[in-house]
Structures are given as C-alpha cells and as structure tokens.
Amino acid sequence: MASNPMQQFSVHKIGPEIKIAGIDLSFTNASLFMIISASIILLFLFFGTKEKKIVPDKIQLIAEMFYTFVAKMISDTAGSKAKPYFPFIFSLFMFVLFCNMVGMLPYSFTVTSHIIVTLILALFIFIAVTIIGFVKHGFKYLSIFVPSGVPVVLLPLITVIEIISYLSRPVSLSVRLFANMMAGHTMLKVFGGFVISLGLLGGWLPLGFSIALTGLEILVAFLQAYVFAILTCIYLNDALNLHH
C-alpha cells in the first residue's frame, strides 16, 4: 500500500546530536537540503561570474537574467529607495526558489514546506520592514494604518482592519509558501500512491495526472518564490515611501 504521503515532510537527525544550552540544534535532513540549495546557488553564481565576457555564455547569461529580473521587480514595486535592500531580496528570492526547485527532485526534502522555516523568513522580513519604517519616518509611520480619504465615521473600523492586516502579514506570507509547497508535494505523493496501488491496469490515469502535476508544481515553485519576493518588495515599499 502507498506510504504515508506526509512521510516526506518528516525531519530526522543526521549525525550526532548537537545540544547548545539545552536546545536541540542537531544537523537534520532539513539542514542538509538548506545547505544543498545554498551551495547550488553559490556554485551557479560562481560559474555565472567566473568569466567576465562582453558577450556572455549561457550560465553567465542566466545569472545576469536573475539579476536583472530581481532588479526590475524591486524598482517596479519599491522604487529606487529600495536599492540598498537589493542583495537581501535577491538572496531571499534565490534561496526560496532553489529550495522549492530542489524539493521537486525525487527523494529530496522540501525545506520551504516547513512552517517554521517560512515563518522565520516572514517574521524577519516583517520585523525588518517595521524597523525600517520607524527609522525612516518616526511615528509618522503609524499613518500607514490611517488611509486618507476615508469618511471619519468609518475611520476607527478601517484603522482596526488595517492594523490586523498589517499584523497578519508574516502569517499570510509564511503560510502561503508553506501551504503551497506542502499541498503540492502531498498531492504528488498521493497520485504516486494511486499509480502503485492501481497497478498496470488503472495506474495510467494517475500517472498522467502525476506528470501534469509535476509541471504544475514546478510552476508553483517558481511562482511562490516570486510571490514571496514581490510581497517583500511591496512591504518594503510601504515602509520606504509611506503613501498608502
């Protein structure tokens, strides 16, 4: 019978247990795949920037395309003021994208399918954006909760809604990525299980679905990385430009 489709998300220790101040920080398969993803990014960038050609070769072209893609995304959504944050958003986009893509390989582990990972990224972005907002505008940053042009009667209600929506940003950001990745991989596993259990006679249909879903999941992997990065840009834009 098909194995548990959630099995693929289980984290297990690799190597010896590492405990610092009573907290278990052991090296796990999640850590391994984080390192693999990061290594692929660094290796890719290493070969992409190894030779400085006026007419780039393929890998250099791809590296430059990533650069211009993220640069354009930032300048389109957050303007020129966001330039100092370009390395962070570039790293974020690349990390999420490569974690998602590495997760698409059979027998691999999807780092971004864990709520704790996406939540930490989202919380870091949320806190950093809030700090940037207060540093740039002082208490005027609070005016982000009071949109202009709203009737006075509605103002208290709108403000409350705005505060809730602001505070829910890290949750929506992290859950969006985590849920997408988890759902997709679970679905793939379930259909994979159908193929096995229905055998030669009935397995072709779920196999077709499986193939189609793999394509869809690759799209989702890219899309979610893009969405993650672009939402970060939008939040950054709110903090930097303060016109709601």
d(CA 206, CA 195): 6
2 binds another protein (CB under 8 A): yes
d(CA 172, CA 178): 10
Number of C-beta neighbours around residue 5 at 10 A: 16
CB of 4 to another protein, least distance (A): 5
d(CA 231, CA 208): 34
CB of 60 to another protein, least distance (A): 8
Q: Residues 6 or more apart from 79 whose CB is under 8 A from it?
A: 237, 240, 241
124 versus 145: smaller Cβ distance to another protein: 124
Q: Residues 6 or more apart from 158 whose CB is under 8 A from it?
A: 146, 147, 150
147 binds another protein (CB under 8 A): no
CB of 153 to another protein, least distance (A): 43
172 binds another protein (CB under 8 A): no
Of 46, 160, 161, 219, which lies in the binding site for another protein, with binding defined by CB under 8 A? 46
User: What amino acid occupies position 75?
Assistant: S
CB of 159 to another protein, least distance (A): 33
5 binds another protein (CB under 8 A): yes
Of 145, 194, 222, 226, which lies in the binding site for another protein, with binding defined by CB under 8 A? 194
d(CA 47, CA 103): 22
Number of C-beta neighbours around residue 128 at 10 A: 16
Of 73, 78, 82, 121, which lies in the binding site for another protein, with binding defined by CB under 8 A? 121
Cα angle value 48/86/136 (rounded, 5°): 170
For another protein, the binding residues (CB under 8 A) are 1-2, 4-7, 9-11, 13, 18, 23-28, 30-31, 34-35, 38, 41-42, 45-46, 48-49, 52, 54, 56, 60, 63-64, 67-68, 86-88, 90-91, 94-95, 111, 113-117, 120-121, 178, 182, 186, 190, 193-194, 197-198, 201-202
